[in-house]
Amino acid sequence: MSSIRVAAAQYPITQHKSLDHWRLHTEQWIAKAARQNAEILLFPEYGSMELVSLFSDEIRADIRWQVRELDSLKADFCETFTTLARKYQVTIIAPSFPVLEADKIYNRAFVFTEKGLVGFQDKFFMTRFENEEWGINSGPKQLTVFEADWGSFGIQICYDVEFPIGSQYLCEAGASLILSPSCTETIRGATRVHVGARARALENQCFAAVSQTIGNAEWSPAVDVNYGFGAFYTTPDKNLPEEGIICKSDIQKEGWLIETLDFEKIRQVRADGQVFNYKDLQRLNTQFINEDIKILRVQI
């Protein structure tokens, strides 16, 4: 098998009355994608912040407090996605979740399959808002390559995809798909992520998918305004779209954008493309000063 059907969400931050209400809402989203034969489901960055609607007004009003309080729901969050991934036999990149570890908060994207929780990716680069307002830390310098029978993928959360280093390491380690869950407030922010994803697809001769939050959630000071759209990109090369744009959803339109990706085309252009971006990129020495990046391989 060389093809896989991937779904990217244009996801509204939704207010919930109870944890059961959130579970039902989440299952409805997953079931809709599964009915369209999607096999990998990509939710956006910070989609989990809708769980803050379950907290008191006092907690909701304090951004740092609500982020830490979310840790009390992490087990329920992971159990829900474990159950749904098994029920619908899909791979789910869950909405990124602020996790609390050793008094540090990381922005983490968990990955679930029919096996349960199989791994995660933490965000490397923090935006100013995350650093200055939320108190979220840059994650440990470890990149996870998720390996399946059709190929491998890696995750670059929002701001991360605007830098070459993570995607280069992931693709050098075997990834041919970069998934970018994102949360942005403005046209400029959304554009930066999409430009980054297109650049990573070009540099690494791979596929890239973007999922973003949309709409307004006035009850939340953290994710009150959201602007975005889903998209799939690739390298403009043989047997692939001339502009590298596979498809894009309508801006601010709720729902799934679903596309079948053929990874044999990626193998072909990496081996005999009009150019050799992927091979030539490996000649560049990309690194963090005083920080080594570790590669973790996870069989899904």
Name the DSSP class of 227.
Answer: -
Residue 120: strand pairing partners: 110
CATH number of the CATH domain containing 221? 3.60.110.10
Indicate whether 232 pLDDT > 70: yes
111-152 pLDDT, tens digit each: 999 999 999 999 999 998 888 888 899 999 999 999 999 999
Q: Is 102 exposed, middle or buried (0-12, 13-18, 19+ CB in 10 A)?
A: exposed
In the three-class reduction of DSSP (H, G, I as helix; E, B as strand; rest coil), residue 248 is classed as: strand
| Domain range enclosing 292 | 3-299
- Tell me what pLDDT residue 67 has: 85
Q: How many domains does the chain have?
A: 1
Residue 1 has pLDDT above 80, yes or no: no
- Average pLDDT rounded to a whole number, residues 198-218: 95
Each residue's pLDDT tens digit, 145-155: 999 999 999 99
Q: Where are the alpha helices (DSSP H) in the chain?
A: 19-35, 57-60, 63-69, 74-88, 128-129, 164-172, 187-204, 263-272, 277-281
Q: Is the pLDDT of residue 293 over 70?
A: yes
Closest among 227, 148, 238 to 185, alpha carbons compared: 227
Which two tokens mark 172?
Answer: 């050098």
Give dist(CA 149, CA 127) in Å, integer.
Answer: 35
Q: What is the pLDDT of residue 217?
A: 79
- 278 and 270 in contact (C-beta within 8 Å)? yes
Burial (CB count <10 Å: 0-12, 13-18, 19+), residue 192 = middle
Taking the CA atoms of 60, 22, 247 and 169 in sequence, report the sign of the dihedral they define.
Answer: positive
Are 160 and 123 in contact, with CB atoms under 8 Å apart? yes
Phi, psi (degrees; rounded to nearest 5) at 275: -135, 170
Is the per-residue pLDDT at 20 higher than 70? Answer: yes
Higher pLDDT, 87 or 222: 87
